[in-house]
A and B are shown apart, each in its own frame.
Chain A
Amino acid sequence: MTIVVVAILALVGLALTFGALLGFASIRFRVEGNPIAEQIDKLLPQTQCGQCGFPGCKPYAEAIANGAPINKCPPGGEATIQALAALLDVEPLPLDAEHGEEKGKLVAVIREDECIGCTKCIQACPVDAILGAAKQMHTVIASECTGCDLCVEPCPVDCIDMVPVPATLRDWYWTRPDANRMQIIATDKMNEACAS
Chain B
Amino acid sequence: MRKLWHFHGGIHPEERKTCSNTHPIQPAGLPPRLIVPLQQHIGAPAKLLVSPGDKVLKGQKIGQAQGRISVCVHAPTSGTVTAIGLHPIPHPSGMLDTCVIIEPDGLEQWCPLTPCEDYATLTPAQLLERIREAGIAGMGGAGFPTEVKLHPPRYDKVNTLILNGVECEPYITADDRLMRERARDVVLGMEIMAYILTPGECIIGVEDNKPEAIAALKTAAKGTRIEIVTLPTKYPSGGEKQLVKILTGKEIPSGKIPADVGVMCQNVATATAVYQAITFGRPLISRITTLTGEHIAQPGNFDVLIGTPVNWLLAQVGHQSENTGRLIVGGPMMGFTLHDLTVPITKTTNCLLAASQRELPAPPPAQACIRCGMCEQACPAELLPQQLYWFAKAEEFAKAEHHNLFDCIECGACAFVCPSSIPLVQYYRVAKGKIRQLTQEQEKADHARERFENRQARMAREAEEKEARRRERAEAAAQAQVSKREQTTTEGSQDKSAQIQAALERVSAKKNPDNDVSRNTAVAAEASQPPPDLESLKKKLLRAQDKYDKMAAALEDAKQHNSDRVEALESATVSSREALAKIQAELAAHPEHKATNVATPPQGPDIEVLTQQLHKAEEKLQLMLATLDDAKANKPETVEKIERAIEKNRERVAAARQALSEARNLGNNETAQPPAVHSRNAVKESP
* A interface list, Cβ under 8 A from B: 41, 44-48, 56-58, 114, 116, 126-129, 144, 146, 167-169, 171-178, 181, 183-186, 189
Q: Which secondary structure dominates where chain B touches chain A?
A: helix
Interface size on B, residues (CB 8 A): 35
Task: Verify B452–A56 contact, CB threshold 8 A.
Answer: yes
Task: Verify A186–B95 contact, CB threshold 8 A.
Answer: no
Q: Which secondary structure dominates where chain A touches chain B?
A: loop
Per-residue A-contact encoding for B405-449, CB less than 8 Å = 1, 0 else = 000000000000000000100110110111011001100111111
Task: Verify A172–B448 contact, CB threshold 8 A.
Answer: no
Residue of B at shortest CB range from A82?
Answer: B395
Chain B residues, CB < 8 A from A172 = 91, 93, 95, 433
Chain A residues, CB < 8 A from B447 = 144
Least Cβ–Cβ distance between B427 and chain A, in angstroms: 6
Assuming A169-B91, A169-B97, what are 19 further A-B pairs, CB within 8 angstroms? A41-B449, A45-B441, A46-B445, A46-B448, A46-B452, A48-B452, A56-B452, A144-B447, A146-B444, A172-B93, A172-B95, A173-B436, A174-B429, A177-B427, A177-B430, A183-B365, A183-B366, A189-B364, A189-B365
CA distance in complex: A175, B441 (Å): 18
Question: A128-B455, A184-B365, A189-B364 in contact; A173/B448 too (CB < 8 A)?
Answer: no
CA distance in complex: A74, B653 (Å): 54
Least Cβ–Cβ distance between B543 and chain A, in angstroms: 44
Residue of A at shortest CB range from B433?
Answer: A173
Task: Verify B365–A127 contact, CB threshold 8 A.
Answer: no
CA distance in complex: A191, B586 (Å): 120
Task: Verify B366–A178 contact, CB threshold 8 A.
Answer: yes
- Total contacts A-B at CB 8 Å: 81
Least Cβ–Cβ distance between B279 and chain A, in angstroms: 34
CA distance in complex: A43, B429 (Å): 24
Question: A169-B95, A173-B429 in contact; A127/B366 too (CB < 8 A)?
Answer: no
Contacting residue for A116 out of B93, B427, B637, CB 8 A: B637
CA distance in complex: A47, B447 (Å): 10
Task: Verify A144–B451 contact, CB threshold 8 A.
Answer: yes
Least Cβ–Cβ distance between B51 and chain A, in angstroms: 23
Rank and list the top 5 A-B pairs by shortest CB-CB distance, nearest first. Answer: A173-B433, A46-B445, A177-B426, A46-B448, A127-B451
Chain A residues, CB < 8 A from B427 = 176-177
Residue of B at shortest CB range from A179?
Answer: B430
27 contacting pairs across A/B (C-beta < 8 A): A44-B445, A45-B441, A46-B445, A46-B452, A57-B449, A57-B452, A58-B449, A127-B452, A129-B451, A144-B451, A169-B39, A169-B89, A169-B97, A172-B91, A172-B93, A173-B429, A173-B430, A173-B434, A173-B436, A173-B437, A174-B426, A174-B430, A177-B430, A183-B365, A184-B365, A185-B365, A186-B365
Let me know if B92 is at the binding interface, CB within 8 A.
yes
Residue of B at shortest CB range from A79?
Answer: B438
Least Cβ–Cβ distance between A20 and chain B, in angstroms: 37
Let me know if B597 is at the binding interface, CB within 8 A.
no
